[in-house]
Amino acid sequence: MSHYRAMLRVRRFYSLNGNPIHEDRRLGRRYYQYLTIVVGERENNAVVSLGQHILIEGTDDDSPFVAQLLKLFWDVNSNQMKAVVHWFVRMHEIAQNKRKLLGRDPHPQEVFYYQDGSCDCEVNVETILGAVQVKHIPAADPFPDNESEDTLFVKLIWDTKTFRKMPPPVPKSPSPSVPVTRARALPTPDPTVMKRAMAGLHPHSCMSTGKIGTAEAESAHSASKLSAAKILNVKRRSRVSSNPNIRKKLELCSPAKHLTRDDVLDEILDEDKDTQEDLVTKLGSFPIHSVSVSSSRLTPLSTPEKPYTKEGKFSLRPMNKPSETTVDNHDSGRDFIGVHPLEDDLFRLEPGLISKNRTPRRREATPRRVSLRQNACCSCSPLRREEQHEISPGHSVHTDSSKRRSARIKKNQLNNHNDLQSDGEDADDDGSFVPADLDRGSSSDEEEESLMDSEDELIVKRSRRGTGRRTPHSTVKSRASARTPRRMPSKKAAPPTPQTPRHATPSIPNRSQPARKPGNMLEEARARLHVSSVPESLPCREQEFQDIYNFVESKVMDGTGGCMYISGVPGTGKTATVHEVIRSLQQAVEQEELPPFHFIEINGMKMTDPHQAYVQILQKLTNQKATADHAAALLEKRFSTPAPKKETTVLLVDELDLLWTRKQNVMYNLFDWPARKHARLVVLTIANTMDLPERIMINRVASRLGLTRMSFQPYTFKQLQQIITSRLNRVKAFEEDALQLVSRKVAALSGDARRCLDICRRATEICEQHGQQGSTGLVGMSHVMEALDEMFSSSYITAIRCASLQEQLFLRAVIAEFRRLGLEEATFQQVLVQHQALCRVEGLQPVSVSESLAVCQRLGACRLLLLEPSRLDLLLRVRLNVSQDDVLYALKAE
């Protein structure tokens, strides 16, 4: 264990040795045969050659992943060293409910040949830790006792459903008859292993057969191989080429890497379609494929490299030792080359450590799928859905402590590697421990899924230890809750939208000195009363909170979707309540009571065009940029195609009415997606009017919105009072009566909590101003009255009183003319006559037309008069914007 810790800490340098054995110009790859690993300051370089078994850095230092190196290449496009591997799984990587399928206790050093087309076989070279020895043991034979702890044994194939014996190299039938070996030796960076290897402990360990890798890459590089191997190789190659999946995979995962994200996504989405039909073929074909691969491994090819020379002497040695439990009719000629594990305790099964296969991903800068070894039911698309899927159902039974530990480890590692992740998706990938949901069952293999479910449930029921919370009534739930903790830490470690330089948004520069803290009590009260200060809780919305909470919670738990419409006049706490709900739900997720979900918020007012909604949703969901149309298409695909590890998305659409378009496409889609089978989308919509669905939505949209509605009533004065009191939170700044006055006044007018808070804030200011003359220091009635007056009183009357004499005369003339005409409208010329008459009455100089017109226009600018906007001059029509009574009142009071 300590070795590996050390190795992880030590910086390692990798280089590909020698000339490229093959170059694929189309993919921009150069294939190599050997990899040199220089560990830290140590002198000795380890060389790994094709076909050898290697250890790949996992989430857990103690048991790195085991794999066989198939190919080594330099990817020109991404400037990275990559390796194609075939994975082995350890017992503890297998879903716990499947472990019993083995029917015996696993040997601590036992690994299983992993047969699953869906996992990513491409890893970054930097994740390779070193070589290990893997020995094939015929299924019937017992495990050798005297082997070193570094050696791993292979007996069976694990194809995510069953353990099988190694199939024969010649695929006559699906039933495996001949064991296939997978073992290689390789140079290790660890001197002890080197020593052991040189000591001849595992004589055949070093026969790395680069063949496989090269052959799989369609290289014709096999001339120097053993003739027997050649034959096998040819056979295998033909088989490989006949296997569409292999080809597909190659094309898929490599070129995609240097494409834009959109392209990748497109491909993925396309791929998704094929998933179902492919799956069958894949599953069928994989045994064959793996057989061929493994058989080809028998051709030892590597001798030339120096570090290998000694090991190269080791010859293939059949290991037909009698196996203890399983019956194996393997060909005795087949053998497994023993591989030295680098660690003593490699075999220790740690129930919590399933995450091995996720590691390589972290080392890579491009989003990719990795090592989905464990489940058969997912497709080969490289999106994170698959990766999420990799946790197949049944993992739920890890003990809490181990879960947490691995989560912690993971988090640390994530932190370390964050800089390597240039892609936002990675962050999600890493943490994507999402329950395999029910959709998947239908997507891939209904029968199998149900089987798994039932098993799962069984296990859940049987082995409920320590976690009494998990009730067996819902498998999904228990599974989900078990997996959540992994998700959460990693989420925290890597924010959902890491900013790539391209997306960098500038921020407002920081101030040179920090803002002053509130000094006295009134300032403190003012800070607390500001609308922006987030209250500890939302009083007076408990019922609404509970309803929304229950709605979202149930949807998240069930992995279904739904819509909710929330209405209420402005300032009644709609958005705040929803945010509060989301906060509490996220807390619940952290406490593992709820599967994780993704919260997205859009606001109709914060976009320039309703169609921008798509862009923003996509951006927040996947950090992709796209045009509105493209984004709509992508989202459509995303929400309508099944994807295994999708987590529920909670979408808050604020100011829904702004998303109205003539065809109502946007609203239609928003409400249609949640109803899709695979969407797992919960849409919460907020708008002001209760009857919005009936008023502006056409039937098909309104019908999709459904009837889950909620309306927020305006606050009553008691509620408003409570809100202020709870915000003030024992800061004594207001007199009781003053508070009541404010809340009653606001409740009578609008019930808008914002208004209420603003008035209180203003009242504190007034109090502060007056306070200098000496008073109680509390905000009293008079202050509140003044604030109310300032905010609510109409300024028209004051404005009229403050107007100049001619303006007042003009207003009077207007009223006089209205009375004369009996209409509420007059032309300027008519008013002018009255105006001049009034001037005469008042003993003033008669006004000229220009002067009078100027007066009229001034009144019009203040909107005391309503004027036509044209330059109609004398024919301008004049109306009053205030009631005649008000004008007369204002003029008389003077």
Beta strand ranges found along 704-784 (DSSP E):
709-712
The Cα angle at residue 613 between residues 607 and 616, in degrees rounded to 5 = 85
746 binds other proteins (CB under 8 A): no
Residue 280 or 874: the one with the smaller Cβ distance to other proteins is: 874
Residue 348 or 754: the one with the smaller Cβ distance to other proteins is: 754
Residue 105 or 851: the one with the smaller Cβ distance to other proteins is: 851
Do the Cβ atoms of 219 and 233 come closer than 8 Å? no
130-189 residues in contact with other proteins (CB under 8 A) are none
Nearest approach, Cβ of 870 to other proteins (angstroms)?
Answer: 10
454 binds other proteins (CB under 8 A): no
Span from 234-242, 290-298, 468-476, 530-538 in contact with other proteins (CB under 8 A): 530-538
228 binds other proteins (CB under 8 A): no
Span from 77-85, 380-388, 667-675, 857-865 in contact with other proteins (CB under 8 A): 857-865
What is the total residue count of the chain?
894
Residue 587 or 848: the one with the smaller Cβ distance to other proteins is: 848
Longest CA pairwise span in the chain (Å): 129
Structure-block tokens of residue 749: 């007018």
Q: Which of 310, 881, 886, 888 binds other proteins (CB under 8 A)?
A: 881
Do the Cβ atoms of 126 and 133 come closer than 8 Å? no
| Closest CA relative to residue 389, chosen from 463, 462, 445 | 445
Q: Which of 399, 616, 726, 782 binds other proteins (CB under 8 A)?
A: 616
Structure-block tokens of residue 486: 């992994």
729 binds other proteins (CB under 8 A): no
223 binds other proteins (CB under 8 A): no
Span from 120-128, 403-411, 531-539, 549-557 in contact with other proteins (CB under 8 A): 531-539
Q: Which of 204, 369, 395, 526 binds other proteins (CB under 8 A)?
A: 526
Q: Which of 9, 25, 26, 511 binds other proteins (CB under 8 A)?
A: 511
Nearest approach, Cβ of 688 to other proteins (angstroms)?
Answer: 7
Span from 69-77, 289-297, 637-645, 861-869 in contact with other proteins (CB under 8 A): 861-869
512 binds other proteins (CB under 8 A): yes
**Other CB atoms within 10 A of residue 527 CB:** 15
523 binds other proteins (CB under 8 A): yes
Nearest approach, Cβ of 513 to other proteins (angstroms)?
Answer: 7
Rounded to an integer, what distance in angstroms lies between the CA atom of residue 313 and that of residue 302? 10
Q: Which of 855, 856, 880, 890 binds other proteins (CB under 8 A)?
A: 855
Q: Are strands 80-90 and 110-114 parallel, antiparallel or unpaired?
A: antiparallel
Rounded to an integer, what distance in angstroms lies between the CA atom of residue 809 and that of residue 859? 11
Half-sphere exposure of 687 (CA within 13 A, CB side): 22
The strand pairing partners of 15, in sequence order, are 36
φ, ψ dihedrals at 648, nearest 5°: -65, 140
795 binds other proteins (CB under 8 A): yes
Q: Are strands 29-32 and 65-75 parallel, antiparallel or unpaired?
A: antiparallel
Span from 208-216, 266-274, 522-530, 558-566 in contact with other proteins (CB under 8 A): 522-530
848 binds other proteins (CB under 8 A): yes
609 binds other proteins (CB under 8 A): yes
537 binds other proteins (CB under 8 A): no
Nearest approach, Cβ of 633 to other proteins (angstroms)?
Answer: 18
| Closest CA relative to residue 864, chosen from 842, 846, 887, 890 | 887
User: Which residue type, as a one-letter code, is found at position 467?
Assistant: T
Q: Which of 405, 770, 858, 879 binds other proteins (CB under 8 A)?
A: 858
Rounded to an integer, what distance in angstroms lies between the CA atom of residue 36 and that of residue 44? 10
654-673 residues in contact with other proteins (CB under 8 A) are 655, 658
507 binds other proteins (CB under 8 A): yes
531 binds other proteins (CB under 8 A): yes
The strand pairing partners of 687, in sequence order, are 567
| Closest CA relative to residue 562, chosen from 749, 710, 457, 453 | 710
Residues 6+ apart with CB under 8 A from 175: 167
Rounded to an integer, what distance in angstroms lies between the CA atom of residue 392 and that of residue 644? 10
685-704 residues in contact with other proteins (CB under 8 A) are 688
Span from 23-31, 217-225, 429-437, 845-853 in contact with other proteins (CB under 8 A): 845-853
Site size toward other proteins (CB under 8 A) is 83
Residue 67 or 856: the one with the smaller Cβ distance to other proteins is: 856
Cα dihedral 543, 549, 552, 558 sign: negative
875 binds other proteins (CB under 8 A): yes
Residue 33 or 664: the one with the smaller Cβ distance to other proteins is: 664
**Other CB atoms within 10 A of residue 523 CB:** 16
Rounded to an integer, what distance in angstroms lies between the CA atom of residue 59 and that of residue 61? 7
521 binds other proteins (CB under 8 A): no
Rounded to an integer, what distance in angstroms lies between the CA atom of residue 535 and that of residue 722? 12
Residue 262 or 400: the one with the smaller Cβ distance to other proteins is: 262
The strand pairing partners of 75, in sequence order, are 29, 80
798-837 residues in contact with other proteins (CB under 8 A) are 798-799, 801-807, 829, 832, 836
478 binds other proteins (CB under 8 A): no
CA distances from 565 to 609, 655, 709 (A): 21, 11, 5
Cα dihedral 347, 352, 357, 363 sign: negative
Rounded to an integer, what distance in angstroms lies between the CA atom of residue 412 and that of residue 396? 22
Residue 25 or 871: the one with the smaller Cβ distance to other proteins is: 871
Q: Which of 762, 813, 816, 818 binds other proteins (CB under 8 A)?
A: 762
Do the Cβ atoms of 632 and 669 come closer than 8 Å? yes
Q: What is the contact mask toward other proteins in residues 230 to 249, using x (rule: CB under 8 A)?
A: --------------------
Rounded to an integer, what distance in angstroms lies between the CA atom of residue 413 and that of residue 408? 9
763-782 residues in contact with other proteins (CB under 8 A) are 765, 769
752 binds other proteins (CB under 8 A): yes
- Measured between alpha carbons, how far apart are the two ends of the chain, in Å? 94
Rounded to an integer, what distance in angstroms lies between the CA atom of residue 664 and that of residue 699? 11
Residue 77 or 829: the one with the smaller Cβ distance to other proteins is: 829
- 3-class DSSP state for residue 36? strand
Residue 123 or 864: the one with the smaller Cβ distance to other proteins is: 864
- 3-class DSSP state for residue 564? strand
Structure-block tokens of residue 168: 């024969």
527 binds other proteins (CB under 8 A): yes
User: Which residue type, as a one-letter code, is found at position 185?
Assistant: A
φ, ψ dihedrals at 53, nearest 5°: -90, 140
Residue 94 or 670: the one with the smaller Cβ distance to other proteins is: 670
Nearest approach, Cβ of 306 to other proteins (angstroms)?
Answer: 50
Span from 151-159, 199-207, 600-608, 715-723 in contact with other proteins (CB under 8 A): 600-608
Nearest approach, Cβ of 818 to other proteins (angstroms)?
Answer: 18
607 binds other proteins (CB under 8 A): yes
72-131 residues in contact with other proteins (CB under 8 A) are none
Structure-block tokens of residue 564: 């909710």
Nearest approach, Cβ of 615 to other proteins (angstroms)?
Answer: 7
562-581 residues in contact with other proteins (CB under 8 A) are 569-571
**Other CB atoms within 10 A of residue 422 CB:** 14
| DSSP H or E stretch at residue 385 | helix 384-389
Residue 611 or 709: the one with the smaller Cβ distance to other proteins is: 611
Span from 299-307, 414-422, 474-482, 791-799 in contact with other proteins (CB under 8 A): 791-799
Rounded to an integer, what distance in angstroms lies between the CA atom of residue 394 and that of residue 94? 9
Q: Which of 864, 867, 878, 890 binds other proteins (CB under 8 A)?
A: 864
